[in-house]
Structure 1
Amino acid sequence: MIVQVQYLPHFKHKALQWASVFDTTCYLDSNGFSDPYSKFDTLIAAGAKSHLIASVGNAFEQLKQFRKNNPGWMTGFLGYDLKNEVEQLTSENVDGLRFPDLYFFVPEHLILIKGNDIEIISDEPERVMNAITVQKPVVAKRQSPISLKPRFSREEYIDTVNQIKAHISRGDLYVTNFCQEFFAEEAEIDPLNLFTQLNAVSPNPFSAFFKWGSNYILGASPERFLAKRDNRLISQPIKGTAKRMDDKQADEQAKQNLRSHPKELQENVMVVDLVRNDLTRSAKAGTVKTEELFGIYSFKHVHQMISTVVCEVQDGLTNVEVVKNTFPMGSMTGAPKVRCMQLMEHYERSKRGVYSGAIGYFSPDDDFDFNVVIRSLLYNSVNKYLSFHAGGAITYHAIAENEYEECLLKAKAVMEVLGGK
């Protein structure tokens, strides 16, 4: 069933409100950003015909079988700590969320929005449309201020970055992504209300609202991890960040400074090399290429340096095998990949979990698309634990104090909607 409505933003808001009542919900929104690889502007999946919850051990194999049994639309997430299944690694840090390592579901109802067309895939599409139409929009309530606590003080963070730089000087690694958690205990939020505010304050091309049971992911991600279109794979790592300026001329200068900054260029090109290497595991020989290097893209709070790496996929590989071959994404690990993951497990103070993982979908035409879970709030409503991670690339030229400020910049939108410190 394909329909059109007069005012699309109003419909999207009511559709998400309707979907969020289900025990399982996935909302993916491009927020109007131009993307040549996107199949839709918005996807809304509600209710689960069947689902898969898996932990590190044989999670990818379980997903492979689940996908084989369910070849239609499927959405879900992959947690960063699946690294322990891909490589001989462990995760021993504090985990306040207790999310599974992998969760996917086959939706009862699916809504795809592209331009002005709204496609409803359901056994009862008219009933779904009517249920959305009669929704009375809930007026957004102001969030009671919540202050997030850091796992590192500023001084501890700076000291740790300098310890990591010592590893770089010794040749243990070239570039890594060091992350810190900001968290709140006994936090009470309205997840849908908070996501709506976050998406308004920080609209991004890979925003996501994901719910299963009492657990929530409220995402404002700007980054694509990996997509497949026909026989083509696309990865778009982000490395390089500059603050937006209110003055137009100063803002343009910030973009130019980012475009020519040695440290930002260095971290981006090293991650591009890592992504190219990861893609060779799934690529036809000789097809891996960098389609765009050092592209500068502007978002509400930051300018980002984004590169695009593509290849043709090998015959005979399943989509789950392709995803596993590149997981976790290079932009959130570093190079050499395994050594970086080992060292960050040592220096970080919290389990990353879904942060640094991916949310996305598999479609009936054998394509898929996954984001990178960054700029995201994670919430367990049973134990009232609220978590936000921020990270940055550490290279030989990194200045620890600047890296700390970049973490705070990336947290700006989240802090704004929480109303705390």
Structure 2
Amino acid sequence: MEAVRRVQHYIAAGDVFQVNLSVRQSRPLLTHPFAVYKQLRTINPSPYMAYVHTPECQIVSGSPELLVRKQGERLETRPIAGTRSRGRTEAEDGQIARQLLASEKERAEHAMLVDLERNDLGRVCVYGTVRVDEWMTVEKYSHVMHIVSHVSGIMAPEHDAFSVIRAMFPGGTITGAPKVRTMEIIEELEPVRRGLYTGSIGWIDFQGNMELNIAIRTMVVKNGLAHVQAGAGIVIDSNPEHEYKECLKKAAALWKAKELSEAETLFQSMR
């Protein structure tokens, strides 16, 4: 809560417009991480699912957000900004989606972050080719819904996949605006380093094509502990309690997958 107030002080002072602050939760994991991944695919299928096993840790990811896709010379990004919890009924769900799209606060934040992504893409694209192909649609997942837009451009001939990554990384939706100053504030206020969280998982092929997500909705398992981090965009009129609850809701599908997989493992051990 204090960190939110500190961010609002920086905003009032004119340092930044918005900062994405995150919180981390850690719990013991009593099953194999891959079992969590299988449950996550069932209860909350997402566009950028991933399971990664390394000597140091295991990663379970169900990210909804595209950082950058490169197909030939075409570049795309799909920023997410603006979140609400799902409704209990279809009618309530529709009402919440309409309220989300009608919110002046959410629309202003989304427009600012789409503009940030357009500027990042413009650094590596042919002048005049960057455009917004899809503007403020709602995507729904098991526990939350988001406002999403789609931005594309044509890569300039002097650039390649790696210079595109340098221009786009990290995604503006998980830092805030302006990007460099918000990263300094995040470093100051968040009590733990983000690690993989808000990094990227994806692929690059030998032709220079690639598809990279933003590693949100991601669990990192290390030494028997599952760590899940989630964030919310803080602006001058943000309610600290509301933003904290939004973080918890974003992490809920991962914790639900953990609980279900642990219950299944326990049941199998009793047979």
Fold match, TM over 0.5?
A: yes
What is the distance in 2 between the residues matched to 1:200 and 1:178?
29
- Contact 2:29/2:258 (<8 A) preserved: no
Deviations 1:304-334 (A, max 9, x none): 1011111110102221111111111111111
The alignment status of 1:378 with 2:224, answered yes or no, reads no
- Contact 1:263/1:398 (<8 A) preserved: no
User: Is the partner of 2:51 in helix, strand or coil?
Assistant: strand
| 1:208-247 equivalent positions in 2, closer than 5 A | 208-247=50-89
Letter in 2 for 1:373: A
What is the distance in 1 between the residues matched to 2:135 and 2:236?
21
The alignment status of 1:316 with 2:158, answered yes or no, reads yes
What is the distance in 2 between the residues matched to 1:201 and 1:327?
29
Pick from 258, 265, 269 the counterpart of residue 418 of structure 1: 258
RMSD: 1.5
Q: Look at both structures and tell me which one has the larger radius of gyration over its CA atoms.
A: 1
Residue in structure 2 matched with residue 172 of structure 1 by the alignment: 15
Q: Which runs of 5+ in 1 are unaligned?
A: 1-157
Residue in structure 1 matched with residue 173 of structure 2 by the alignment: 331
Deviations 1:16-58 (A, max 9, x none): xxxxxxxxxxxxxxxxxxxxxxxxxxxxxxxxxxxxxxxxxxx
User: Is the partner of 2:53 in helix, strand or coil?
Assistant: strand
The count of residues paired between Structure 1 and Structure 2 equals 260
What is the distance in 1 between the residues matched to 2:68 and 2:174?
13
What is the distance in 1 between the residues matched to 2:37 and 2:94?
30
Shift of 1:395: 1.2
Letter in 1 for 2:257: V
- Contact 1:207/1:219 (<8 A) preserved: yes
Q: Which has the higher helix share?
A: 2
Pick from 276, 284, 305 the counterpart of residue 147 of structure 2: 305
Shift of 1:233: 0.6
What is the distance in 2 between the residues matched to 1:254 and 1:337?
30
Residue in structure 1 matched with residue 131 of structure 2 by the alignment: 289
Letter in 2 for 1:232: R
Moved over 2 A (4+): 186-189, 363-366, 383-386, 417-420
Pick from 395, 406, 409 the counterpart of residue 249 of structure 2: 409
Shift of 1:405: 1.0
What is the distance in 1 between the residues matched to 2:225 and 2:35?
17
Letter in 2 for 1:180: V
Shift of 1:418: 2.9
Percent sequence identity over aligned pairs: 32
- Contact 1:205/1:222 (<8 A) preserved: yes
Residue in structure 2 matched with residue 33 of structure 1 by the alignment: none
What is the distance in 2 between the residues matched to 1:200 and 1:187?
19
Shift of 1:216: 1.1
Letter in 2 for 1:339: R
Residue in structure 2 matched with residue 155 of structure 1 by the alignment: none
- Contact 2:79/2:149 (<8 A) preserved: yes
What is the distance in 2 between the residues matched to 1:353 and 1:164?
21
What is the distance in 2 between the residues matched to 1:346 and 1:214?
27
Residue in structure 2 matched with residue 349 of structure 1 by the alignment: 191
Letter in 2 for 1:169: A
What is the distance in 1 between the residues matched to 2:191 and 2:228?
13
Letter in 2 for 1:171: G
Pick from 182, 200, 203 the counterpart of residue 361 of structure 1: 203
Q: Which runs of 5+ in 2 are unaligned?
A: 261-271
Residue in structure 1 matched with residue 268 of structure 2 by the alignment: none
Shift of 1:270: 1.0
Residue in structure 1 matched with residue 269 of structure 2 by the alignment: none
| 1:138-177 equivalent positions in 2, closer than 5 A | 158-177=1-20
The alignment status of 1:190 with 2:32, answered yes or no, reads yes
- Contact 1:177/1:391 (<8 A) preserved: yes
Letter in 1 for 2:211: D
Shift of 1:246: 2.1
Residue in structure 1 matched with residue 93 of structure 2 by the alignment: 251
Shift of 1:384: 2.8
Deviations 1:54-92 (A, max 9, x none): xxxxxxxxxxxxxxxxxxxxxxxxxxxxxxxxxxxxxxx
What is the distance in 1 between the residues matched to 2:128 and 2:228?
40
| 1:22-61 equivalent positions in 2, closer than 5 A | none
**Structure with bigger RCO (C-alpha 8 Å, 6+ apart):** 2
- For normalisation by structure 2, the TM-score amounts to 0.92
Shift of 1:169: 1.1
What is the distance in 2 between the residues matched to 1:310 and 1:417?
34
Shift of 1:366: 2.6
Letter in 2 for 1:407: C
Shift of 1:296: 1.1
- Contact 1:175/1:270 (<8 A) preserved: no
